[in-house]
Structure 1
Amino acid sequence: MKRAFIIHGWGATPADHWFPWLSGSLQQHGFAVDTPALPNPTAPVFADWQRTLARHIGTPQPDDLYIAHSLGNITLLHYLSQARPAKIGGLILVSGFAAKLPKLPEIDGYSMDNYVEQARLDLPAIRAATPNIVCIVSGNDAIVAPEESGKLAAALNAPVIRVANAGHFLASDGFTELPQVLQAAEGFCSQ
């Protein structure tokens, strides 16, 4: 069975935003879905989040589908950069970034910069592992500026799906479903 992993971001849990809806939708498409609960989400420890991914993902498999949101993106990209899989099924990166966020060096006293500085990314190796990468970006994201997501998409040579007025794709922005993610996953599966 194909595996799918949904990686949440800062301040979130697997029960938040559009994650439960996506999990159920992917299960209906035959995926074994895992949405790891990353520990201490409002003050994440980089090594703890990496250990949690290691326990859940283990060795990345050729058919694995990865979906990440916000801080979950750089967390996942570091993990994959270290694991160096020859092939994965695909990546869907929502409000992604791969460097410090100039507009958000910290949040509620937590140093985002410190977390991001620990990530070691090999984006060319990730790109080589799959032709299936999509970045989903909101034009009015006040947390991860659209330009930052655009830089990540450019570095991965990935197409961008723009969603107007979506904020940061949070439930508080009106997102308990995110059909663009499911459509991208369906597109990957049909190849």
Structure 2
Amino acid sequence: MTDIVIIHSKLGDATNHWYDWLRNNLQLEGYNVTLFDMADAYSKPLEAWVKTLDEQVNISKNDTYVITHGYGALAGLKYLELQDIDPIEGVFIISGFKEDAKDLDDNLSLDTESLDYENIRKKARQFYGLCAKDDKYVSYKETERLMEILKGTCKIKSHGGHFIDEDGFTTFITLQENIQKIMSK
């Protein structure tokens, strides 16, 4: 059975947007899903996210995929960097960005902690990015830049915003379908 870890963004918690919906749907399909939940996520530094990930997530096999969103991409990548694991199958990054991103919402403060992308690339066989040109929180160019350094693929949509409930994303059927298509290869 494939393990899946979902890491939410700073704009909410595990109960917002499409996270719980995706967990439930993937569990119904037979996947073992861990939905990370960080209380008061918006005010917490990266170090606290990684500590909470350590408490909630255990990657114990290669047949694992990680799905991240927004700031959750930074946390998920830092978490992977620090793990002593063989490469997992893949990482899906929705509206992600690097720690030195410039084209972000002004209210989002970034940590100064750097990530070792060469090490992170060794932790997953494949990286997949998804972003939208009309995202008001994270420029699609930041997700593209992240995918370039991870040597992953990036799909850029014209519309979708930040893929959150205010953009109409309380479910995310196309994400689920694409993830399952990749996982079944």
User: SS where residue 155 of structure 1 aligns?
Assistant: helix
1:176 Cα deviation from its structure 2 partner: 1.3
Question: Structure 1 pair 57/95, CA: closer, same or farther in 2 (3 Å)?
Answer: same
Aligned length: 185
Deviation at residue 5 of structure 1 after TM alignment: 1.0
1:83-162 to structure 2, matched below 5 A, reads: 83-104=83-104, 106-107=106-107, 112-113=109-110, 115=111, 117-118=112-113, 120-162=114-156
Distance, in Å, in 2 between the alignment partners of 1:179 and 1:132 is 21
Give the root-mean-square deviation of aligned CA atoms.
Answer: 1.9
* Alpha-carbon distance, 1:62 to partner: 0.7
Equivalent position SS for 2:125: coil
Which runs of structure 2 are paired with 1:166-177 in the superposition (5 Å)? Answer: 166-177=160-171
Contact 2:81 2:123 in 1 (8 A): no
Q: Which amino acid aligns with 1:35?
A: L
3-state DSSP of counterpart to 1:167:
coil
Contact 1:90–1:188 (CA<8 Å) still a contact in 2?
Answer: no
In the alignment, is the contact (CA less than 8 A) between 1:84 and 1:125 conserved in 2? no
Deviates more, 1:11-20 or 1:42-51: 42-51
Give the C-alpha shift of residue 173 in structure 1: 0.5
1:1-191 to 2 correspondence within 5 Å? 1-104=1-104, 106-107=106-107, 112-113=109-110, 115=111, 117-118=112-113, 120-191=114-185
Amino acid of the structure 1 residue aligned with 2:150 = L
Q: Which runs of 5+ in 2 are unaligned?
A: none
| Unpaired runs of at least 5, structure 1 | none
In 2, Cα distance between the equivalents of 1:137 and 1:9?
14
Tell me: CA distance 1:140–1:31, structure 2 relative to 1, closer, same or farther (3 Å): same
The whole-number CA distance in structure 2 between the counterparts of 1:134 and 1:84 is 22
What does the per-residue CA deviation read over 1:91-125, in whole Å, with 9 as the maximum and x for residues that have no partner?
A: 10000101333244751xxx613x2x12x323233
Seq. identity, %: 24
TM-score normalized by structure 2? Answer: 0.90
Note the C-alpha offset of 1:59. 4.1
Distance 2:184 2:58 in 1: 26
The code of the aligned residue for 2:25 comes to S
Q: Which moved more, 1:147-156 or 1:36-45?
A: 36-45
